[in-house]
Chain A
Amino acid sequence: MMLFCFILICLVSFRADQTLFSVPPGWPKPSYALKDNPLSVSKINIGRSLFYDNLLSNDNTISCSSCHLSYTAFTHVDHALSHGIQNRIGKRNSPALMNLAWHNSFMWDGAIHHLDMQALAPIQDSSEMDNTIAQVVHKLIQSDYYKKLFQAAYSDGKITGERLLKCIAQFLVTLVSANSKYDKMKRNEVVFTKQEQSGYALFLKNCSACHTEPLFTNGSFQNNGLPMDEDLHDIGRMKITKLYADSLKFKVPTLRNIAFSFPYMHDGRFKHLSDVLKHYTNGIVLSHTLSPILQQTIKLSSNEKVDLTAFLLTLSDTSFLFNPNFAFPEQLKNNSNDLK
């Protein structure tokens, strides 16, 4: 009888997970272990509320969404370096958030090794939310709104650091972008224009080694030949590994929804896609750690750059960007500021 119940529970959770998250056809297996944090509507709802709630910051002024806006590929457009509470400026450009279940390192330097632990970094960074996870838990316990949400999600209704992190991770796992024109072309639902097809061929030849399909990143750390910013002195991955071989290496970002995620690079130095392409054809700075793939100059004519840009625009996924399930939750609007 017990075994039967166990199998039934497993089947129900599996089916629930499948509805809330599924691997697009042809995509690799996700890195995130859903069995350790089985998805549920109630937990995703908590994560979504927390993602949009200013309560996470020390002075209740900013939320995750302040730097990760859903309509702009979950990043902070128009800001080279994102700003936190009290106009404090951070050191890096906020990365776009999507398809995170397939990643096993986070942040530009891979400082964070697990999606569950990612939210801790902005919550406690003095330039971002300048708070502590213990203080956030304390605030949630004072909130009738969150008390109800946790009671709905957990039988004992207890609010803990582990649970709040796992709920945020659940919401982040659901942010899957796999319905762009490119994806539709792959599924034979649409055909590329001649220009887009030419751009795709140029992409495969010049960019796909690092921006590998279908995620449009291979998740590696590369020095892409940017000169070091004299003020930031950001050594990238080397800060974490302390290996000179990792100097100036940053995580390869996804190209999905790139038209919406400007400015570009770890320090947001390029405002336009044309600036990015110009860097790869004319701006590579040679150094010991330069990506081997960039050792040979990339040559693109003006027309080829236009074609490549046309292809990059096919990576925009409006059903992801404007998915109402990812937007600000209306229930939060009615229940925010209920802290006692």
Chain B
Amino acid sequence: MRKVTIILLSCLFSVSFYSFGANTKELLIRLYPLFDGTTLVLDSVYCNGLNHDTTRITQIKFYLSSFKFIHSNKTVFEELNSYHLVDCSDETSQLIKLIIPSELVFDELRFNLGIDSLTQMKGAMGGDLDPTKGMYWTWQSGYINFKLEGNSNKCPTRKHSFQFHLGGYAFHDNALQTVQLMPDPFDNSIMIGFDLFDFLNGIDLAHQNLVMLPGNEAIQLSKAISNLFKMLKQ
């Protein structure tokens, strides 16, 4: 009972400590979707490569979760209820605000691409995790971690479309990926870019253009996507 009281008091103390902002600061994480090195504009047609392939991206939505700050391989701070839906058609969602201790010393920022299995097993949730956000599979329980849709002349599909709905958490289908970056701890804003040209150029769109189920393919593609996240120079 004493232990429980101490834990409760510590929780109350930490909550008030961070919420009143006594020794905290705002860290802004800005996400930039890119296509071949330039800012990606949804629905724009890009012409690339020797074959002048045309690509248009119509939708990019994904979850970033469990933001953690690491110092010497130890977690020194982690955001509570850390679930952020990034929708590239909504600029405000591309800006993630974290409240962190102002003197936080860290050498690594770590976050997940997707929703962890423990959260997946919970019931209905709100905010960015509300199923109305269009990121929850309905034929089978589970969040879609990453959604990418568009068209490419390489796809022999109807309207040359490609659709990647990557997710899965159960059995051998866990597609959750961890991204590790090394930002400057003194910066108050971090710019992270992800170049989808690298992803689309790295797969054979003629044969791999529709992934809507959890499984090995979703895991491999999720790994490729997680490798796209890179620090951008200020």
Contact = CB atoms under 8 A, between A and B. Distances in A.
A36 interface: yes
Interface string B43-84: 000000000000000000000000000000000000000000
A120 interface: yes
A120 B140 CA distance: 10
B138 A241 contact: no
Interface in B92-149: 120-126, 129-134, 136, 138-142
B123 A120 contact: no
Max chain A C-beta neighbours (<10 A), residue from B123, B136, B171? B123
B138 A160 contact: no
- Interface of A, helix, strand, loop or mixed by DSSP: helix
Contact of A117 (B131, B170, B171, B173): B131
A123 B124 CA distance: 15
A163 B125 CA distance: 8
Given A120-B131, A137-B132, A160-B132, A165 B139 contact: no
Contacts of B122: 36, 114
- Interface of B, helix, strand, loop or mixed by DSSP: loop
A178 B158 CA distance: 53
B215 interface: yes
A322 to B, nearest CB: 30
B170 to A, nearest CB: 8
A276 B139 CA distance: 29
Max chain A C-beta neighbours (<10 A), residue from B120, B122, B140? B140
Contacts of B125: 162
A33 B171 contact: no
A45 B77 CA distance: 42
A328 to B, nearest CB: 24
Contacts of B215: 242
Contacts of A111: 139-141
Interface string B195-213: 0000000000000000000
A115 interface: yes
A275 interface: no
Max chain A C-beta neighbours (<10 A), residue from B121, B124, B134, B215? B124
B123 to A, nearest CB: 3
Given A133-B131, A137-B132, A162 B141 contact: no
Contact of B141 (A37, A112, A132, A161): A112
Interface of A: 33, 36-37, 111-117, 120-121, 123-125, 132-134, 137, 160-163, 165-166, 169, 240-243
Given A114-B122, A124-B139, 11 more contacts: A36-B122, A125-B138, A133-B138, A160-B132, A161-B126, A161-B132, A162-B130, A162-B131, A166-B124, A240-B140, A241-B171
18 contacts: A33-B123, A36-B123, A111-B139, A111-B141, A115-B123, A116-B123, A117-B131, A120-B138, A124-B138, A124-B139, A125-B138, A133-B132, A134-B133, A160-B130, A161-B126, A163-B126, A165-B124, A242-B215
